Amino acid sequence: MKSLILASGSPRRKELLEIAHLSFTVQKSSVSENISGDFSPAQFVEQLALHKAQDIYRKNSSQVVLGADTVVVFNNQILGKPENDKEAFDMLTMLSGQLHYVFTGTAIICEEKEEIFHGVTEVKFWNLTSEEIEEYVSTGESSDKAGAYGIQGYGSTLVKEIKGDYYNVVGLPLARTVRELKKFGITNDLSQSRNKS
Protein backbone atom coordinates (compact mmCIF):
# COMPACT_ATOMS: atom_id res chain seq x y z
CA MET A 1 0.00 0.00 0.00
CA LYS A 2 1.32 3.41 -0.95
CA SER A 3 1.91 6.05 1.70
CA LEU A 4 1.60 9.83 1.40
CA ILE A 5 4.48 12.32 1.46
CA LEU A 6 3.86 16.04 1.85
CA ALA A 7 6.49 17.87 -0.23
CA SER A 8 6.28 21.03 1.87
CA GLY A 9 7.77 22.35 5.07
CA SER A 10 4.70 24.51 5.72
CA PRO A 11 3.36 23.92 9.23
CA ARG A 12 -0.06 25.10 8.01
CA ARG A 13 -0.31 22.38 5.35
CA LYS A 14 0.86 19.80 7.86
CA GLU A 15 -1.88 20.90 10.27
CA LEU A 16 -4.52 20.77 7.54
CA LEU A 17 -3.66 17.18 6.61
CA GLU A 18 -3.78 16.29 10.29
CA ILE A 19 -7.25 17.88 10.54
CA ALA A 20 -8.31 15.50 7.75
CA HIS A 21 -6.93 12.52 9.75
CA LEU A 22 -4.44 11.59 7.03
CA SER A 23 -1.28 9.63 7.77
CA PHE A 24 1.76 11.14 6.03
CA THR A 25 5.40 12.07 6.31
CA VAL A 26 6.99 15.40 5.45
CA GLN A 27 9.88 15.97 3.07
CA LYS A 28 10.47 19.60 2.23
CA SER A 29 11.17 20.30 -1.42
CA SER A 30 14.25 22.34 -2.21
CA VAL A 31 13.09 23.71 -5.57
CA SER A 32 13.15 27.46 -6.13
CA GLU A 33 9.82 29.26 -5.76
CA ASN A 34 10.69 31.43 -8.74
CA ILE A 35 9.86 29.95 -12.12
CA SER A 36 10.32 31.72 -15.43
CA GLY A 37 7.70 31.92 -18.13
CA ASP A 38 4.56 33.79 -19.04
CA PHE A 39 2.15 32.09 -16.66
CA SER A 40 -1.24 33.13 -15.37
CA PRO A 41 -1.50 32.98 -11.56
CA ALA A 42 -3.35 29.64 -11.82
CA GLN A 43 -0.69 28.18 -14.12
CA PHE A 44 2.08 29.58 -11.91
CA VAL A 45 0.89 27.89 -8.71
CA GLU A 46 0.07 24.64 -10.51
CA GLN A 47 3.53 24.49 -12.11
CA LEU A 48 5.30 25.28 -8.86
CA ALA A 49 3.23 22.70 -6.96
CA LEU A 50 4.12 20.13 -9.63
CA HIS A 51 7.84 21.00 -9.49
CA LYS A 52 7.81 20.56 -5.71
CA ALA A 53 6.02 17.23 -5.93
CA GLN A 54 8.33 15.97 -8.69
CA ASP A 55 11.39 16.96 -6.66
CA ILE A 56 10.37 14.65 -3.80
CA TYR A 57 8.87 11.97 -6.05
CA ARG A 58 12.25 11.39 -7.74
CA LYS A 59 13.55 10.05 -4.40
CA ASN A 60 10.30 8.26 -3.46
CA SER A 61 8.86 6.85 -6.68
CA SER A 62 6.90 4.09 -4.92
CA GLN A 63 4.86 6.59 -2.87
CA VAL A 64 2.18 9.25 -3.43
CA VAL A 65 3.57 12.79 -3.23
CA LEU A 66 1.58 15.96 -2.58
CA GLY A 67 3.01 19.36 -3.52
CA ALA A 68 1.39 22.77 -3.09
CA ASP A 69 2.09 26.46 -3.54
CA THR A 70 0.14 29.58 -2.58
CA VAL A 71 0.32 33.14 -3.92
CA VAL A 72 -1.68 36.32 -3.46
CA VAL A 73 -2.72 38.20 -6.60
CA PHE A 74 -3.59 41.88 -6.65
CA ASN A 75 -4.10 43.86 -9.88
CA ASN A 76 -2.66 40.91 -11.84
CA GLN A 77 0.53 41.10 -9.79
CA ILE A 78 1.69 37.93 -8.04
CA LEU A 79 2.75 38.51 -4.44
CA GLY A 80 4.87 35.78 -2.93
CA LYS A 81 6.59 35.80 0.45
CA PRO A 82 8.15 39.12 1.50
CA GLU A 83 11.95 39.18 1.75
CA ASN A 84 11.98 41.55 4.71
CA ASP A 85 9.76 43.67 6.97
CA LYS A 86 9.77 46.64 4.59
CA GLU A 87 8.50 44.50 1.73
CA ALA A 88 5.86 43.03 4.05
CA PHE A 89 4.76 46.54 5.05
CA ASP A 90 4.57 47.61 1.39
CA MET A 91 2.52 44.53 0.43
CA LEU A 92 0.03 45.06 3.23
CA THR A 93 -0.24 48.77 2.43
CA MET A 94 -1.05 47.82 -1.15
CA LEU A 95 -3.74 45.35 0.00
CA SER A 96 -5.31 47.72 2.57
CA GLY A 97 -9.03 48.15 1.83
CA GLN A 98 -8.64 46.15 -1.36
CA LEU A 99 -10.00 42.98 -2.87
CA HIS A 100 -7.39 40.39 -3.81
CA TYR A 101 -7.26 36.73 -4.74
CA VAL A 102 -5.44 33.82 -3.16
CA PHE A 103 -4.43 31.00 -5.50
CA THR A 104 -3.21 27.64 -4.22
CA GLY A 105 -1.95 25.08 -6.69
CA THR A 106 -1.90 21.41 -5.71
CA ALA A 107 -0.18 18.49 -7.41
CA ILE A 108 -0.55 14.83 -6.47
CA ILE A 109 1.67 12.33 -8.25
CA CYS A 110 2.49 8.65 -8.08
CA GLU A 111 3.88 6.06 -10.48
CA GLU A 112 0.60 5.57 -12.32
CA LYS A 113 -0.83 9.08 -12.60
CA GLU A 114 -0.83 12.70 -11.58
CA GLU A 115 -3.53 15.21 -10.69
CA ILE A 116 -2.93 18.98 -10.80
CA PHE A 117 -5.49 21.59 -9.80
CA HIS A 118 -5.87 24.94 -8.07
CA GLY A 119 -8.28 26.82 -5.84
CA VAL A 120 -9.08 30.55 -5.80
CA THR A 121 -10.45 32.51 -2.87
CA GLU A 122 -11.51 36.17 -2.88
CA VAL A 123 -10.29 38.14 0.14
CA LYS A 124 -11.00 41.73 1.13
CA PHE A 125 -9.04 43.64 3.76
CA TRP A 126 -10.26 46.34 6.09
CA ASN A 127 -8.81 49.81 5.55
CA LEU A 128 -5.62 49.58 7.58
CA THR A 129 -3.67 52.39 9.19
CA SER A 130 0.12 52.47 8.99
CA GLU A 131 0.17 51.78 12.73
CA GLU A 132 -1.96 48.67 12.32
CA ILE A 133 0.28 47.40 9.54
CA GLU A 134 3.45 48.10 11.52
CA GLU A 135 1.96 46.33 14.54
CA TYR A 136 1.14 43.27 12.45
CA VAL A 137 4.55 43.14 10.75
CA SER A 138 6.21 43.42 14.18
CA THR A 139 4.63 40.08 15.18
CA GLY A 140 6.87 38.33 12.64
CA GLU A 141 3.89 36.50 11.18
CA SER A 142 4.39 38.08 7.74
CA SER A 143 7.80 36.61 7.10
CA ASP A 144 6.93 33.28 5.46
CA LYS A 145 3.45 34.05 4.14
CA ALA A 146 2.37 34.81 0.59
CA GLY A 147 1.05 38.37 0.52
CA ALA A 148 2.66 38.96 3.93
CA TYR A 149 -0.23 37.73 6.07
CA GLY A 150 -1.58 34.54 7.62
CA ILE A 151 -5.36 34.34 7.78
CA GLN A 152 -5.21 31.55 10.37
CA GLY A 153 -3.22 33.71 12.80
CA TYR A 154 -3.27 37.33 13.93
CA GLY A 155 -3.62 38.23 10.26
CA SER A 156 -7.28 37.28 10.62
CA THR A 157 -7.80 40.74 12.14
CA LEU A 158 -6.90 42.34 8.80
CA VAL A 159 -9.56 40.47 6.84
CA LYS A 160 -13.01 42.01 6.34
CA GLU A 161 -14.52 39.18 4.32
CA ILE A 162 -13.72 36.20 2.16
CA LYS A 163 -15.57 34.45 -0.63
CA GLY A 164 -14.58 30.87 -1.31
CA ASP A 165 -12.54 28.21 0.46
CA TYR A 166 -10.97 29.47 3.70
CA TYR A 167 -8.47 26.58 3.79
CA ASN A 168 -7.27 27.52 0.32
CA VAL A 169 -6.04 30.79 1.85
CA VAL A 170 -4.34 28.89 4.67
CA GLY A 171 -2.41 26.88 2.07
CA LEU A 172 -4.39 23.90 0.77
CA PRO A 173 -7.90 23.47 -0.70
CA LEU A 174 -8.48 20.74 1.86
CA ALA A 175 -11.82 19.20 0.91
CA ARG A 176 -10.88 18.83 -2.75
CA THR A 177 -7.41 17.55 -1.85
CA VAL A 178 -8.91 14.83 0.36
CA ARG A 179 -11.25 13.78 -2.45
CA GLU A 180 -8.44 13.69 -5.00
CA LEU A 181 -6.18 11.69 -2.66
CA LYS A 182 -8.84 8.97 -2.44
CA LYS A 183 -8.32 8.34 -6.17
CA PHE A 184 -4.70 7.54 -5.29
CA GLY A 185 -5.69 5.12 -2.54
CA ILE A 186 -4.93 7.60 0.27
CA THR A 187 -7.79 7.70 2.75
CA ASN A 188 -8.24 9.16 6.20
CA ASP A 189 -8.00 7.11 9.38
CA LEU A 190 -10.67 8.09 11.87
CA SER A 191 -9.92 5.20 14.25
CA GLN A 192 -7.36 7.24 16.22
CA SER A 193 -9.94 10.00 16.67
CA ARG A 194 -12.48 7.51 17.98
CA ASN A 195 -9.96 5.98 20.36
CA LYS A 196 -9.22 9.37 21.90
CA SER A 197 -12.87 10.12 22.62
Rounded Cα–Cα distance for residues 106 and 67 (Å): 6
Total-model pTM: 0.90
Round to whole Å and give the CA distance between 144 and 149. 8
Is residue 79 within 8 Å of 72, Cβ to Cβ?
Answer: yes
Give the model's pLDDT for residue 193: 52
pLDDT for res 31: 85
pLDDT of 80: 85
* Sites in the chain below the pLDDT cut of 70: 35-36, 191-197
Q: What CATH number is attached to the domain comprising 47?
A: 3.90.950.10
- pLDDT for position 152: 93
Following DSSP, what letter does each residue of 29-88 receive, concatenated? Answer: ----S---S---HHHHHHHHHHHHHHHHHTT-TTSEEEEEEEEEEETTEEE---SSHHHH
Write out the residue range of the structural domain in which residue 125 sits: 4-196
Which residues belong to the active site? 69
Count of structural domains, the chain: 1
pLDDT tens digits for range 26-73: 999 988 777 667 889 999 999 999 999 999 999 999 999 999 999 999
**What's the confidence (pLDDT) of residue 164?**
97
